[in-house]
A = this chain, B = another copy of it.
Amino acid sequence: MKERISKLTNDLGGCYGPRLITSQAGRAQYAISEGHHPAHTPELAVRPESIAEVQDVVRRARQLSVPIVPFGAGTSLEGNAAAVEGGICIDLSGMNRIVEVSPEDLLCVVEPGVTREQLNVDLRATGLFFPVDPGADATLGGMISTRASGTNAVRYGTMRENTLALRVVLADGSVVTTGSRARKSSAGYDLTHLFVGSEGTLGIIVEATLRLHGLPETVLALSWDFETLEGAVDTVITTMQAGVPVARIELLDAAAVRACNAYAGLDLPERPTLFVELHGSAAAVAEQLELVEAIGGEFGGGRMARAQEAEARSRLWKARHAALPAARALVPGAVTWVTDVCVPISRLAESIARVQSAIEEVGLLAPILGHVGDGNFHVFFVLRPDDEEAWNKARAINEAMVDHALSVGGTCTGEHGIGIGKKSALVREHGAEAVRLMKRLKTSFDPDGILNPGKIFTPNIQGTAARF
């Protein structure tokens, strides 16, 4: 490998100048994303600035059989962009032009390195916004690659629903265009949605056409504490079953609120709390509020704080947005392992109750929060790196959480992807037959296995069509 890397370094050196990164310090910035997984430093990194440059890098790397790892903002949580087999990291964050905004068709065209905050700042004058909000200021290319979602997905959908079309560089360096600007199409196989969530293993996304949404006339943010976790969760379940079109409905358990108070200097009641946002006309928001209040009142909802102006809303949402750094700050030097499952809404209460009692039983520090309107929640395990016993307890709880989610028809990952962390869970979720089919598909797109190797598939999954 060393020789091939040095050959590739020579090949690329002349064209990319300082955008070819060979130093240990330069490469180290691609070694770690936000997850709890170990560091993997790529042997080389490059910052292309055009589709043609991505094609060029892919062609040269492929000729030398050097693994290619696409990289965005480094905010993924399951080691999705870790260079586990070495190779070259393609840092797409420099391809960050907003190519087009079309208000009349409620869409935009972006390069993959554009971040969601950058896009929303750019959209300010249009009255439109891009709703998918995973918390981190991820790149849109990265969000497409992990099929990300977050707080607004309950009303506006995930990256799946908001990606209309893609341009993708394939393993052989060719470019394909998928989808169209039409709202719907039945023209052939849905390649767009095959690339969405494929974690850079089928091709490298170099351009995306995304749906935009009109900014609502009225936005009302609520925070609402509950006597019991069950009461908060039952409020969510009933709200969803009643079809109230909430824009966000987020849960923090008491431990999460406690962490946020400490971290952000807040003074929230340290009880299970829902953060809700309602979008619509003034009348529609008033109507939704009445429904939500009536439902929550039945389940022990306490004091409800409300905020309508932008600044007041930011203050109210501060606790929710601080949750991840707040968890990290609980124990200096600790690592935060963010888990992720998603269950059918009717099974949410039992899923959260089980995991909460498991956490209590073993005495771990592990706030729970989630995009509960979708049935999606996270446990933030706060762990000292060397506390092997605590890691083992966390692993056991995570496995049980995944197994329970699967047993009720849910999924092992609502929004973080498989990466290196959920590979065996994927087989448990879909069965070896379906994962073999995915692998067969992978092999047909990338026969040499150079695109983001070591992700999604456990080594024992064979993609060859054994039966044929």
Chain A interface residues (CB < 8 Å from chain B)? 102-107, 146-149, 153, 158, 160-161, 170-178, 180-191, 193-194, 196-198, 202, 213-214, 241-243, 281, 283-284, 287, 342-346, 374-376, 405, 408-418, 422, 425-426, 429-431, 433-435, 437-438, 440-445, 447-448, 456, 465, 467-468
Task: State how many angstroms separate the Cβ of A173 from the closest Cβ of chain B.
Answer: 8
CA distance A188 to B416 in the complex (A): 11
CA distance A284 to B280 in the complex (A): 10
14 A-B pairs besides A176-B431, A176-B434, A193-B193 with CB distance below 8 A are A106-B241, A173-B467, A180-B409, A182-B414, A185-B411, A187-B412, A188-B418, A188-B429, A189-B456, A190-B196, A190-B197, A193-B194, A283-B284, A441-B445
Neighbour of A104 across the interface among B149, B346, B434, CB < 8 A: B346
Q: What are some 16 contacts across the A-B interface (CB < 8 A)?
A: A160-B193, A178-B430, A178-B434, A184-B414, A186-B416, A187-B425, A187-B426, A188-B197, A188-B456, A189-B441, A190-B196, A190-B197, A191-B438, A194-B194, A214-B242, A441-B444
Task: State how many angstroms separate the Cβ of A450 from the closest Cβ of chain B.
Answer: 11
Contacts of A102 in B (CB 8 A): 344, 346
CA distance A106 to B345 in the complex (A): 9
Q: Is the CB of A190 within 8 A of B187?
A: no
Task: State how many angstroms separate the Cβ of A172 from the closest Cβ of chain B.
Answer: 4
Contacts of A170 in B (CB 8 A): 437
Chain B residue nearest to A194 in the complex (CB): B194
- Counting every copy of the chain, the complex holds 2
Contacts of A444 in B (CB 8 A): 440-441, 443-444, 465
Neighbour of A182 across the interface among B241, B343, B441, CB < 8 A: B343
CA distance A218 to B178 in the complex (A): 39
Contacts of A160 in B (CB 8 A): 184, 190, 193
Contacts of A429 in B (CB 8 A): 180, 187-188
Q: Is the CB of B186 within 8 A of A417?
A: yes
Q: Is the CB of A431 within 8 A of B177?
A: yes
Once A104-B241, A437-B191 are accepted as A-B contacts, the answer to whether A184 and B158 lie under 8 Å apart by CB is yes
Contacts of A468 in B (CB 8 A): 171-172, 447-448
CA distance A32 to B67 in the complex (A): 51
Q: Which of A104, A170, A180, A435 has the most CB of B within 10 A?
A: A180
CA distance A183 to B346 in the complex (A): 12
Contacts of A104 in B (CB 8 A): 241, 345-346
Contacts of A153 in B (CB 8 A): 184
Chain B residue nearest to A105 in the complex (CB): B344
Contacts of A149 in B (CB 8 A): 184, 186
Q: Is the CB of A346 within 8 A of B188?
A: no
Contacts of A182 in B (CB 8 A): 342-344, 374-376, 405, 409-411, 414
Q: Is the CB of B434 within 8 A of A177?
A: yes
Contacts of A202 in B (CB 8 A): 189
Chain B residue nearest to A107 in the complex (CB): B344
Q: Is the CB of B410 within 8 A of A180?
A: yes
Task: State how many angstroms separate the Cβ of A55 from the closest Cβ of chain B.
Answer: 12
Q: Which of A158, A375, A430 has the most CB of B within 10 A?
A: A430
Q: Is the CB of B188 within 8 A of A342?
A: no
Contacts of A107 in B (CB 8 A): 344
Chain B residue nearest to A434 in the complex (CB): B176
Once A241-B104, A444-B441 are accepted as A-B contacts, the answer to whether A411 and B172 lie under 8 Å apart by CB is no
Q: Is the CB of B374 within 8 A of A433?
A: no
Q: Is the CB of B411 within 8 A of A180?
A: yes
Contacts of A105 in B (CB 8 A): 344-346
Chain B residue nearest to A464 in the complex (CB): B444
Q: Is the CB of B376 within 8 A of A411?
A: no
Q: Is the CB of A189 within 8 A of B185?
A: no
